[in-house]
Amino acid sequence: MTAEEKIEYVKDAIEHQIAINPSGSILYRLYDVVDEMEDAVALSKSDQIRIIYKLREDNYLKHCSLNDLETHFKIEKHSDVREKTSIDFVMEAISFFQSEYDKVKLKGLTYNYQLGWSEESIYLSESFLKRDEYPEKLEAIKELKSANFISEYKIVSNIATPDLPDQHNDHLGIFFMDYASCTLNEDQLSKEAPKSTDFGTDSIVKKVIHEHSHKFQNSIQEKSITINSNPNNRQADKYFISKKGMDFYYKGQYLDLSRRSDYYKVFSIIFSLAPNGGEIPYSKILKRIRGEMKAHEDKTDVDLKKVIHRNLTERGNGFQRKGNLKEYEDNGKPLLAVEHGIGIIFNNGDSPNS
């Protein structure tokens, strides 16, 4: 077998098992595949192990774990369900606020929109708690604030009890759930409860986007306006990389990246820690990866640093390669550089720190 044939063989075996398994999670049995014509091993167990780990790195698989005896892999593949966009999160938030407002229809009330577990709780639980959609939900709140749907908001934390597996009960303590405590601009809400949730929410979203865009129509012509609350985007022309919602832009040009990939997740962590560029210590990056990237939460610091380097600068699957970005920027510096023993240098243009 050629290398490509070996990869296709493993993929076909995985797809066949998943197709007949309603849970979407399978046990992949490892054994030597023998070519009967040649009376020789065509695909060894060790080759299959390497291929499966490679498929995980390429984000073809959502999760894989090898048992201690190296006889089986537990494999989970990504769902074919459409990936949620930033507008999906905006619509979910609007639907929540509309539903809560319809209960009493009183002005001036404060509404708590659940974001997820606080970062401190994630740290205390040793990553058994997750924040899968926390960043996207918070971004939606910021966008609605920018669009004047929300007049004011602040992040508040309430004590909550996590539902951890029994074997981790010793980690239980005081944990906090974060909420966006919001005061609404009630004039943006529908005065009557929508007959259909999708229709009602859609009409409000269109209204919010229209009214937000209308404020700029006299100063900006022949340009599409989208709600965008990231304060760093106001000076996006000063930086090489900017972000709008969940999308990244390089010098204003949209980067076609897979949000499910490790390179996107690793760079998102780098960008959130230093959106204007600068030096990011390994300690901060490793803590975020363990809290947000389940597949890597049990890896050693050394292995996690390899994950960081591979997903940022590797010529095959790194962020720079996938974004078709040049190695050195106009100021003569690399966009991303490794400072061994210290962390990552993110050179994002006109920044005193980069």
What is the residue-wise DSSP string for 168-192? GGGG-S-EEEEEEEEEE-GGGS-SS
273-325 pLDDT, tens per residue? Answer: 999 899 999 999 999 998 888 888 888 988 898 889 888 877 666 888 888 88
Specify the pLDDT at position 23. Answer: 61
Specify the pLDDT at position 126. Answer: 47
Which two tokens mark 198?
Answer: 């999708």
Specify the pLDDT at position 222. Answer: 37
Which two tokens mark 3?
Answer: 């290398």
Q: Which position has the token pair 């210290």?
A: 342
Sheet of 175-184, strands arranged across: 110-117, 175-184, 150-160
With beta carbons less than 8 A apart as the criterion, state whether 354 and 331 touch: no
Specify the pLDDT at position 216. Answer: 40
For the chain, where are the alpha helices, taking DSSP H only?
Answer: 3-19, 45-57, 86-104, 119-124, 134-146, 197-214, 262-273, 282-292, 301-313, 319-322
Structural domains of the chain, ranges and CATH numbers in brackets: 3-77 (1.10.10), 86-214 (no CATH), 231-346 (1.10.10)
Specify the pLDDT at position 103. Answer: 87
107-127 pLDDT, tens per residue? Answer: 889 999 999 877 766 544 444
Is residue 253 classed as helix, strand or coil in its secondary structure?
Answer: strand
Bridge partners for 113 per DSSP = 180
Q: How far is CA 234 from CA 227, 228, 285, 310, in A?
A: 12, 9, 26, 31
**Three-point CA angle 305, 310, 315, nearest 5°:** 155
pLDDT mean values, one per 10 residues, the chain (354 residues): 87 82 77 80 91 88 85 79 77 91 88 84 52 84 93 87 52 72 86 46 57 44 39 56 88 86 91 91 92 86 88 78 81 83 84 45
Specify the pLDDT at position 192. Answer: 52
CA distance 285 to 343: 8
Specify the pLDDT at position 310. Answer: 85
Sheet of 61-66, strands arranged across: 25-29, 72-77, 61-66
- Residue 225's Cβ-count burial label (10 Å; 0-12, 13-18, 19+) is middle
CA distance 61 to 43: 20
